[in-house]
């Protein structure tokens, strides 16, 4: 049989391949549903400890993000991998995961993110 190090290398290779595939599957699973058509917004992506949101710039609306793309986290940069010190501004194509309810945040998944740039958060 294979030595233990070969088995571990094979398991690690398979795990890495699966992890690399997950963002593609997430983007493919984010599509129009019976809850509404996908739409594009110009917004500010924010990461907090308990949730991720997109504020639609020029409005009082925020969307709660259930599925995001790796490209958004890449825009935060190596010095802020969790996104707690910056916002990411850009154009986000989102698909609703629930009906819109006035006064409540609508859950969405992010299908596409473009023209991303990061900006520092202001201290409170």
pLDDT in tens, 39-89: 999 999 999 988 999 999 999 999 999 988 888 988 988 888 888 999 999
pLDDT at residue 24 in the model = 41
Phi, psi (degrees; rounded to nearest 5) at 20: -65, -25
Query: In the chain, what are the domain boundaries?
Result: 4-120
Question: What is the DSSP-derived secondary structure letter of residue 97?
Answer: S
State residue 68's pLDDT score. 83
What does the pLDDT read at residue 54?
Answer: 97
Q: Indicate the length of the chain as a whole number.
A: 124
Please tell me which residue, 71 or 6, carries the higher pLDDT value: 71
- At residue 8, the pLDDT reads 46
- pLDDT tens sequence across 95-117: 999 999 999 999 999 999 999 99
Residue 12 has pLDDT above 90, yes or no: no
Between CA 98 and CA 106 the distance in angstroms is 7
The terminus-to-terminus CA distance of the chain in angstroms comes to: 60
Please give the average per-residue pLDDT across 30-43, as a whole number. 92
- Counting DSSP H helices and E strands in the chain, the numbers are 2, 5
- The pLDDT of residue 21 is 36
- Given this model, what pLDDT does residue 5 score? 53
* Residue 28: predicted pLDDT: 57
Q: How far apart are CA 46 and CA 29, in angstroms?
A: 22
Which residues lie across from 109 on neighbouring strands?
Answer: 67, 95
């Amino acid at each position: 049989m294979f030595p233990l190090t070969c088995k571990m290398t094979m398991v690690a290779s398979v795990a890495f391949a699966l992890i690399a595939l997950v963002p593609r599957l997430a983007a493919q699973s984010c599509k129009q549903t019976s809850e509404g058509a996908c739409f594009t917004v110009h917004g500010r992506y924010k990461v907090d400890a308990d949730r991720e949101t997109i504020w639609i710039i020029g409005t009082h609306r925020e969307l709660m993000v259930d599925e995001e793309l790796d490209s958004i986290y890449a825009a935060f940069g190596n010095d802020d991998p969790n996104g707690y010190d910056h916002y990411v501004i850009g154009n986000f194509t989102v698909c609703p995961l629930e009906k819109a309810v006035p006064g409540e945040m609508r859950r969405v998944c992010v299908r596409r993110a473009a023209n991303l740039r990061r900006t520092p958060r202001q201290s409170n």
